[in-house]
Structures are given as structure tokens and as C-alpha cells.
């Protein structure tokens, strides 16, 4: 009986030790994605620096292509546009 309790205790300690490492891996992966997405945006502004409607469209196309090439999630904007009246 005592051996079973010791084994159960060891298993719980082992699981508890592995859980934070897994969470840190997810955090590092998420941080890497955000950094890559930020690089795509910076590159787009480097290529199309003007603040015109045409340059904004070209930047958006550039960012979408960059994200797609790196297999990153596509940015969909800041949310729903307000309904025009």
C-alpha cells in the first residue's frame, strides 16, 4: 500500500514539474508569432511609406502575403465597422 502511495505522489510531482515548461513553450511560440507579424507590418511600411489610400491598400496586400508566406494567422482588422446610417 505504501508503495502505491509513493508512486502516486511521484507521478503527481512529475506532472506538476512538467506543466510550467509546457506553458512556457506556448508563450514563446506566441511571442515568436507576434514578433513575425510585427516584422511583416514594419516591412510593409518600409515598402509603402506614404499615408495615402493607395499606399494603405498596398501595405495591406503586402502584410497579408507576408503572413500567408510565413503560415501565420491573417489579421482581420480592429473589429466590425460601425453601421453607416
- pLDDT per residue as tens digits for the range 17-31: 655 555 567 677 889
| Cα–Cα distance for residue pair 39/36, rounded to 1 Å | 5
Grid cell, residue 78, equals: 480592429
pLDDT at 27: 72
Q: Name the pLDDT band for 5 (thresholds 50, 70, 90).
A: low
Angle between helices 53-69 and 2-47 (to 10 degrees): 140
Number of Cβ within a 10 Å radius of residue 40: 20
Owner of C-alpha cell 453601421 = 83
| Domain assignment present for 38 | yes
Range in 3-7, 36-40, 64-68 with the lowest mean pLDDT: 3-7
| Domain count of the fold of the chain | 1
Which residue range(s) make up the domain with 52? Answer: 31-74
Contact 1/27 with Cβ under 8 angstroms? no
| Domain assignment present for 21 | no
Tens of pLDDT, residue by residue over 39-79, are 999 999 999 999 999 999 999 999 999 999 999 988 776 65
| Cα–Cα distance for residue pair 83/67, rounded to 1 Å | 29
| Domain assignment present for 59 | yes
Grid cell, residue 17, equals: 514539474
Q: Name the pLDDT band for 12 (thresholds 50, 70, 90).
A: low
| Domain assignment present for 82 | no
pLDDT at 44: 96
Grid cell, residue 2, equals: 505504501
| Domain assignment present for 68 | yes
| Domain assignment present for 20 | no
Amino acid at each position: 500500500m505504501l508503495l502505491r502511495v509513493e508512486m502516486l505522489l511521484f507521478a503527481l510531482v512529475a506532472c506538476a514539474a512538467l506543466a510550467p515548461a509546457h506553458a512556457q513553450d506556448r508563450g514563446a511560440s506566441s511571442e515568436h508569432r507576434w514578433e513575425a507579424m510585427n516584422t511583416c507590418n514594419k516591412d510593409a511600411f518600409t515598402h509603402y511609406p506614404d499615408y495615402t489610400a493607395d499606399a494603405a491598400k498596398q501595405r495591406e496586400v503586402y502584410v497579408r502575403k507576408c503572413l500567408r508566406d510565413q503560415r501565420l494567422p491573417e489579421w482581420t482588422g480592429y473589429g466590425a465597422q460601425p453601421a453607416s446610417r
